[in-house]
Every structure is written in C-alpha cells, then in structure tokens.
Amino acid sequence: MGLPSRSIHLAACALAAGALLTGLVPASGALAAPVAPTARAAAEDPPTEDMPDDGFDDEHEGEQDDLVGPGGTAAGQRAPGVRAAPVPGRAGDFRLAAGGDLSGLVGRLDAALPKQGLTALMEQANRTAGWEAACGNTSIYGPDLAINHRVCWAGDDLASTEWVPQAITGVSDAQEDEDWGTSNAEPIAVASYDAKNPGRSDQASGSQNCVQPAASDACNEKGVRVSFFNQATQKYRHVLLVWPYVNSKNNISFDALHASEGTCTGTVTPSCKAQNGIHVGGMVWYGNYLYVADTANGMRVFDLRKIMDLNPDNDADRNDPTPDGLESDVKDKKRIGRQNNVWYSFGYRYVMPQVAP
C-alpha cells in the first residue's frame, strides 16, 4: 500500500469520529454519567493489544477524571444549579436505533437498472485529478502542514461553488489489507454536499420549477455525491447518492438525498417539502458499505455492490435501454428518477441508493 492511502486513512479516522457520533444516542441521555459495566460485560470485553488508548485509566468508571471537579471535588458535589459537563463515554454507553427497511425498494431498483461494481467503476474514472506539484502550494489558513502527497480536483470541480467537499475515507478504512478486489486503484472516497439550496424542485409550478428552460442545472437540490479516486490512474468519478421510493404510479423510483425523506408517505408530491439537503459531515467506508452522517437523521448506509449504471455504453448522446424495458437519459441534468417512463439522474452516469436509514 502506498503512502497516499495511509495519509488518507489518518484523515478519515479523524472525520469518522464526528460522523459516527452523529448517529449515536446516549443510552441514558447526553448528560448522564456512564453506567458501570457488569462483571460479565467486563469479562467479555478484555483489553485489546495495539488499539488506541481511550484516555481512561483501567478503573471503575465512577472514578474517571472527567467526573471529578477542580481540586478533586466529586462532580456530584458541585454547586446547586451548575450543570454537569458532557462526558465522552464509551461505545457501550451508546445505542444505534435501526430505521426503516429499504431492502425491498433497493431490490426493485436493482431489477430495473443495470449495475456496476466499484472495481469496474474505477476503470471508468473519467476526470483527471491534480497530483503532487500540479496542485500548487496554496495556504488558505497559513502555512501548509508537512505532507507526503497532494491530490486535487480537476479545474471545473475546483472552481465549483455548487459542490463543497466535506467528508473523506478510503479503502484503508474498508479492510485490513488495504486492497479492493484485484484492482490496484486503492480508492479514496470524498463526499460533497450541494451548497446551492434554492428551495425549488422540478415538481413546483411557474418560476419555481427547475425543469423550465430558463432554470440552470444547479436549480435542484442534488444532495450528496461521492467522488472515488483511482490512485493508480490518478483519475476519479462522481457517484450521486439517492433515496429509493415508490412514486404516485406505484413504480420504483429514486430522488436525491434530502433532509426530510419519509415525510411524503412513500410518494413524492409538490406538497412534500423535501428540498433541504444534508450536510454529510462525515463518512466511513467499512467492508462493502459507506456510512454517511446526517446531522438530523443519524447514519445513512450505502452498499458499494449496488451502484446503478445509467449509461453503460458511455455515450451520453444516446439513451440506453434498461432491464425493466424503459430507457435512461444522462444528458438531461434537471431531472431525476423515473419520469414518463424514462430514468434520469441529474446527468450522472452512476447512482448509489441508500440501503438502510
């Protein structure tokens, strides 16, 4: 494994810490002191060699330094009305609550659309990344830290005001051997959110309709996209993250990620206000899954084995037939999902549906 991935691995770990906590809920409330583990739980969780120090001594949790006030005064003896400071806690003090089941919807999408694996997607990477000295030596907030390698976007992505990079992870997080299949791509994944949030959609009427000829293709809130970098070829490809749903005709479809999915009772309509995007404040790649942080809704999960390809012949000027007997159009950048028996994706060749809330 080369140095670039190990550098990315360290950066991703830092971001992952914030991302994972977004989807966790303290078992006894955010300000509750950690509950002391039972003897059995302690026995089942022996010390692990070579793991990062959690900052706690091996002692009863009631004796943690962060539960003790200045001068050694116990936190429980603080002055009346003084609120306890939150404590970091341990993984066992938090619980994940499962959301709804999307497997049926994803299965229907899988049957309707062609599919592509990540290894093949890396071979189809179509945008040339800046590498090393080609990225310049900009220092926006002061002198750069010492680095081993530098990677940057292609010119139009670098200048974009629509997409803001926010989270990073890589194959080094995904699996121990830091390789993906037979490829030597050693992928890096960067998630960006759509910063243009006009509060309009292609379902609204009049000037608020994003499909009208006068509207730019930045009109719709496109949610989140993940850019996969191929370190071997120094190229990358964007993949749009999407949410599967059943439309008003009882057909499977998908939409961009928004903050209020689930408020439409299964159908997206003009009255469904699902145009606010998500911030994608962190992301972790583990095994076959991407875990994406959503500030308001916890964790969203995506399966790298379920990447849909809406342009298999790589010819954007010609619509492609789909397994469900319809066709896909990647030239129209203002529409998404199944509309009038045509599949759209805001112009992206690849979309990856959410498999679990």
**What is the tens place of the pLDDT at every residue in 328-353?**
999 998 889 999 999 999 999 999 99
Report the percentage of the chain scoring pLDDT > 90: 38
Alpha carbon distance 175, 330 (integer Å)? 33
Alpha carbon distance 256, 268 (integer Å)? 12
What's the pLDDT at 138?
A: 61
Residue among 45, 48, 50 nearest 61 (CA): 45
Q: Quick one: CA torsion of 330, 332, 333, 335, rounded to 10 degrees?
A: -100
What are the two backbone dihedrals, phi and then psi, of residue 168, each rounded to the nearest 5 degrees? -140, 145
Residue among 224, 244, 339, 336 nearest 290 (CA): 224
What's the pLDDT at 70?
A: 39
Alpha carbon distance 112, 298 (integer Å)? 29
What's the pLDDT at 203?
A: 58
What's the pLDDT at 179?
A: 77
For residue 198, pLDDT beyond 70: no
Q: What six digits make up the tokens of 341?
A: 């028996």
Q: What six digits make up the tokens of 116?
A: 């592509």
Note every long-range contact of 133-138, with CB atoms under 8 Å and residues 24 or more positions apart, other chains counting.
none
Cβ-proximal residues to 170 (8 Å cutoff; 6+ apart), any chain: 5, 8, 9, 12, 186, 187, 188, 189, 285
User: Over the stretch 267-289, which tens digit does the pLDDT of each residue have?
Assistant: 445 555 445 678 898 999 999 99
Q: What six digits make up the tokens of 52?
A: 């990062």
What's the pLDDT at 19?
A: 36
Question: How far is C-alpha 88 from the chain's CA centre?
Answer: 24
Q: Where are the beta strands (DSSP E) in 135-234?
A: 151-152, 163-170, 188-194, 224-230
For residue 237, pLDDT beyond 70: yes
Alpha carbon distance 11, 142 (integer Å)? 19
Q: What six digits make up the tokens of 294?
A: 């959503």
Task: Give the SS3 label for residue 103.
Answer: helix
Give the mean pLDDT of the chain: 73
What are the two backbone dihedrals, phi and then psi, of residue 119, each rounded to the nearest 5 degrees? -60, -45
For the ranges 14-28, 29-43, 144-158, 297-311, the maximum mean pLDDT occurs at 297-311
Among 29-43, 147-161, 217-231, 301-315, the minimum mean pLDDT is found in 29-43
Q: What is the mean pLDDT of the segment spanning 310-329? A: 96
Of 197 and 245, which is predicted with more confidence?
Answer: 245
CB atoms within 10 A of CB 230: 22
For the ranges 35-39, 55-59, 277-281, 304-308, the maximum mean pLDDT occurs at 304-308
Q: Would you list the domain boundaries of the chain?
A: 25-95, 103-356
C-alpha distance from residue 205 to each of 112, 125, 214, 257, 271 (Å): 29, 37, 13, 21, 11
What's the pLDDT at 239?
A: 98
Cβ-proximal residues to 226 (8 Å cutoff; 6+ apart), any chain: 189, 190, 191, 192, 238, 239, 241, 283, 290, 352
For residue 247, pLDDT beyond 50: yes
For residue 164, pLDDT beyond 70: yes
Residue among 348, 347, 331, 328 nearest 339 (CA): 328
For residue 292, pLDDT beyond 90: yes
Q: pTM for this one?
A: 0.71
Q: What is the mean pLDDT of the segment spanning 6-21? A: 37
Cβ-proximal residues to 230 (8 Å cutoff; 6+ apart), any chain: 122, 123, 125, 185, 187, 236, 237
Residue among 133, 148, 145 nearest 2 (CA): 148
What are the two backbone dihedrals, phi and then psi, of residue 204, each rounded to the nearest 5 degrees? -80, 170
